[in-house]
Structures are given as C-alpha cells and as structure tokens.
C-alpha cells in the first residue's frame, strides 16, 4: 500500500508564487510513488499548476477559509463551476503518514494554528522555509508557539544559511532539526550567449518593493552619473507596487533607461536580451530568478540576503551588495560598471560556479529527502 502524504502551503495571499515551485515540481516527480493530497486555498481563477497535479491523480482539497460576502447568484455559479472534489474539506490529519508544510514567510501566524492540531494527533510533519527576514519580529506571546512548531517538526528545510541564522536569531534557539536544500531550476539548462551587445540588466521579480527592492534600485539609477551611461534596466513581472515604481521612473526621468517587460513565460527570451541579473532585494530565501540566470550564464548583482553570498564570487561571477541601502547598491553598481566589458565572462564563470556548488538537481535531491521519511 502506498504511503499517504499531505502537502500544504501557507500562501493564502496570491494564487501562485515562486515559493510554491519546489513542492510543486517535486510532486511532479513523485506523484506515482505515493498517495498524495494537496491542501491549498481556492482561487476564483483555477491555478494551472494545481490543475496539472489533479490531472496526474493528485487529490486536491481546499481550505475552509472565510471569504468576503458574495451574492446569491455568484454562489450558485461557484457551485456549478467547481468540481465535486474541489469543495471545502475538513482534513483528517490521521489519514497521513507525513505532512509537509511550505512557508513563504518563516513566521506566518497560520503555522502554529496548523501544527498545534497536528501535534495533538502525533502525526510527523516537516517544514519547508522559503524565506526568512530579520526585518520583522515576533512578540513574546507568540514566541513559544513558534518555537513549539519548529522544534516539533521532523525536519525544517531551509534554502540558505542566512535564513537559518535569521530564524534561530528570532526564535532565540539553535534548531537541531534543520537541513539545507536548494530551490529548483532547469538543471539541464545549456549556456546561451546574450544576443544583445548593450549593457542590459534584468530584474526578474514581483513588484513588491519591500521584498524585492526595485524602489531602491531606481532611486540609485536616478543619479545624473547613471543617466549618462549606456545601460538599460528591464523590469520583468508585475505586482502591487507597480504604480510606485512607475512614479519613481517618472520622478527621475528614467523612461529611456528603465523598461517594463511584463511577465515573460519563456525565460530564454529574457536572457537572450540581458547580460546581467540584478536583485536588490531586502529579503530572500534562495532566489529562483538568480538560479535561473546563473544556469543561462549570466552575471549576478545581488543584495547579501538569502543565499546570495554563497552564489556570488565577488568580481569573478558578479558583485555583492552588502546591504539594501542606496549607498551600498550604488557602490556595487560602480564596481560592476568599471568591469562592464567583462560581464559576459563573469556570466560564464557564474554558470560554472552554480554547478560547482549545486551538484544534484534540487528536485531530485528533495524527492530523495522525502523518501527517507516514508
């Protein structure tokens, strides 16, 4: 009889994000070996990845989340629209041999509400931490709840030593059950030389400035010295701070230097047009965009958050921004600009470094980790 596994994500804010890719791609690999259930929030528009899993035979259950009031006609439409196995479900955790919980934020308050129930039933579970930051704190009232949730976990999977350190700092303890893994990227990706001979930089990130730091980057580029230089910054993505970013571009008169490219599904199209990946983030776990850019052979300029320090060799594969501030972003960009004729060579080095430190496909590695528990 196949072992039964429950995967759930605490991401109830957006229909899909980079923090979902590791567990999703892992399920694509192991779905036939286990009896798998996925517990997620239901969105008005069906999420393509969830539909893919359902078509593969993965059971999909939806959280019982109270939503805003909807009209009676809309309730009727919803009942007709959703399939019978996509209704809200009361989860019987006793049905599962192991539960995996993915967190897009290491101190999501939904965590201990879930793990308290699981712990009462003595069901083994593991946590997948996609992001940690010391820019938020937790009060003493909640501290014991989070400590209990972390310490009772079979394993806490982290994507970087930085995230381990920040989580342990805020918890005030050393986690004995921590384990380092990597986020997924196309492990078989081949080097592709950039077609553009311009000094094009790409920031591939959701427009959430507090997280991804586009506001800081544009403010730095708003200096006259940068406006006189022959570069282009291409912004890929969308999000809740697009209007802020647009206003900053207008304020600094950067419309000829900064371009919105929207969401581009074919990543090759991005990296054919850009020589550098720039990530001025205030927080990260292990950036999917950074891993992807390195696999194509692109130089990286990134803030020293998440796994950036391990992924970047200063002045060989890219440049590290020591902290997300105006002065330090400007300093790193100045170093990069002085070496602009070597960007392609740095990108080749960057790709080699990626495969030097990540020696196994992250999806295969995490799949093997899961099998150890079952």
Check which CATH number belongs to the domain holding 27 and give it. Answer: 3.40.50.2000
* Domain identity same for 94 and 22: yes
Q: Tell whether 190 is covered by a domain.
A: no
Per-residue pLDDT, 230:
94
Higher-pLDDT residue of 199, 13: 199
Mind listing the pLDDT tens digit for each residue in 221-274?
A: 999 999 999 999 999 999 999 999 999 999 999 999 999 999 999 999 999 999
Nearest to 343 by CA among 300, 304, 293, 303: 300
Which residues does 218 contact at the CB level (< 8 Å), separation at least 6?
Answer: 233, 245, 248, 249, 252, 254, 258
* Domain identity same for 53 and 176: yes
Q: Tell whether 366 is covered by a domain.
A: yes
* Domain identity same for 257 and 293: yes
Contact call for residues 279 and 300 (beta carbons, < 8 A): yes
* Domain identity same for 226 and 145: no
Higher-pLDDT residue of 62, 71: 62
* Domain identity same for 116 and 24: yes
* Domain identity same for 87 and 169: yes
Q: Tell whether 189 is covered by a domain.
A: no
* Domain identity same for 140 and 226: no
* pTM of the shown model: 0.91
Nearest to 302 by CA among 263, 342, 267, 336: 336
Mind listing the pLDDT tens digit for each residue in 345-369?
A: 999 999 999 999 999 999 999 999 9
Whether 183 shows a pLDDT value over 80: the answer reads yes
Whether 82 shows a pLDDT value over 50: the answer reads no
Contact call for residues 238 and 263 (beta carbons, < 8 A): yes
* Domain identity same for 58 and 104: yes
3-state secondary structure of 56: coil
Whether 72 shows a pLDDT value over 50: the answer reads no
Q: Tell whether 259 is covered by a domain.
A: yes
Q: Tell whether 21 is covered by a domain.
A: yes
If one counts the domains in the chain, the total is 2
Per-residue pLDDT, 138:
87
Percent of the chain exceeding pLDDT 70 equals 93
Nearest to 36 by CA among 2, 64, 85, 63: 2
* Domain identity same for 213 and 169: no
Per-residue pLDDT, 323:
97
Residue 116 Cα distances to 42, 113, 183, 186, 230, angstroms: 23, 6, 28, 37, 56
Q: Tell whether 188 is covered by a domain.
A: no
* Domain identity same for 153 and 213: no
* Domain identity same for 353 and 365: no
Q: How confident is the model at residue 81 (pLDDT cuts 50, 70, 90)?
A: very low
Whether 47 shows a pLDDT value over 80: the answer reads yes
Per-residue pLDDT, 255:
95
Q: Tell whether 187 is covered by a domain.
A: no
* Domain identity same for 38 and 20: yes
Domain of residue 135 covers 4-182+361-371
Q: Tell whether 191 is covered by a domain.
A: no
Strand 156-158 relative to strand 125-129, pairing:
parallel
What would the two tokens of residue 17 be? Answer: 């994000």
| Residue 340: alpha-carbon gap to chain centroid | 29
């Amino acid at each position: 009889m196949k072992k039964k596994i429950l995967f759930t994500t605490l991401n109830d804010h957006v229909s899909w994000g980079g923090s979902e890719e590791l567990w999703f791609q892992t399920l694509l690999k192991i779905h036939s070996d286990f009896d798998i259930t996925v517990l997620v929030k239901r969105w008005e528009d069906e999420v393509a990845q969830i539909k893919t899993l359902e078509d593969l035979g993965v059971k999909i259950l939806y959280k019982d989340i109270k939503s805003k009031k909807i009209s009676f006609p809309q309730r009727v439409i919803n009942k007709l629209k959703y399939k019978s196995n996509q209704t809200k479900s009361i989860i019987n955790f006793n049905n599962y041999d192991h539960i995996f919980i993915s967190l897009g934020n290491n101190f999501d308050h939904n965590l201990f509400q879930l793990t308290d129930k699981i712990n009462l039933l003595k069901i083994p579970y593991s946590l997948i931490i996609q992001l940690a930051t010391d820019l938020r704190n937790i009060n003493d009232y909640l501290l014991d709840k989070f400590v209990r949730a972390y310490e009772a976990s079979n394993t806490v999977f982290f994507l970087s030593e930085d995230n381990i350190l920040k989580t342990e700092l805020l918890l005030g303890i050393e986690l004995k059950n921590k384990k380092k893994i990597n986020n997924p990227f196309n492990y078989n990706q081949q080097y592709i030389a950039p077609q553009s001979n311009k000094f094009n930089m790409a920031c591939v990130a959701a427009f959430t400035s507090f997280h991804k730091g586009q506001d800081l980057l544009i403010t730095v580029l708003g200096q006259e010295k940068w406006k006189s230089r022959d570069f282009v910054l291409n912004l890929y993505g969308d999000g809740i701070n697009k209007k802020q970013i647009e206003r900053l571009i207008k304020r600094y008169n950067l419309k000829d230097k900064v371009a919105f490219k929207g969401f581009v599904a074919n990543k090759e199209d991005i990296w054919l047009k850009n020589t550098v990946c720039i990530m001025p983030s205030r927080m990260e776990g292990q950036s999917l965009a950074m891993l992807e850019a390195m696999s194509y052979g692109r130089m990286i300029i990134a803030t020293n958050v998440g796994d950036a320090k391990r992924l970047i060799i200063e002045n060989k594969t890219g440049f590290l921004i020591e902290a997300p501030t105006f002065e330090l972003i400007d300093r790193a960009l100045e170093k990069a600009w002085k070496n602009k004729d070597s960007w392609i060579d740095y990108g080749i080095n960057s790709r080699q470094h990626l495969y030097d430190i990540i020696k196994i496909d992250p999806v295969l590695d995490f799949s093997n980790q899961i099998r150890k528990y079952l």
